Amino acid sequence: EADIYQTPRYLVIGTGKKITLECSQTMGHDKMYWYQQDPGMELHLIHYSYGVNSTEKGDLSSESTVSRIRTEHFPLTLESARPSHTSQYLCASSELSGYTFGSGTRLTVV
């Protein structure tokens, strides 16, 4: 079934560690996005991509980077995790209509 997949589902990591959150979609969508969301709260756009080799920063400066080497893959990297990065990270993809969201990665930085 076409969907969007995020791994890991939960992650606890120490301050200063480098981490990569994985996002892959089998929808065939060109557009992909990363959002940060505290549970049930506002969605904050971190990065987005309109296609391969296209990446843009969103409204929220999160000290993270993304890459889009393949259409289906859009990983998010935090070079040095901090407790302020503790949150849920949602990946999404779209074409001409609404988003399909992944199940999210719940990140805790201790």
Q: Which residues bind another protein (CB under 8 A)?
A: 31, 33, 39-43, 45, 48, 50, 58, 90, 94, 96-104
3-state secondary structure 5-32: EEECCEEEECCCCCEEEEEEECCCCCEE
End-to-end C-alpha distance for the chain, whole angstroms: 36
Residue 6 or residue 64: which is nearer to another protein going by CB? 6
Smallest gap from Cβ 110 to another protein, in A, equals: 21
Tokens of 52: 């391969």
Nearer to another protein, 51 or 80 (CB): 51
Q: From the CB of 15, what's the least distance to another protein, in Å?
A: 26
Please say which residue, 21 or 79, places its beta carbon nearer to another protein.
21
Closest approach of another protein to the CB of residue 53, in Å = 18
Q: What is the DSSP string of 75-88?
A: -EEESS--GGG-EE
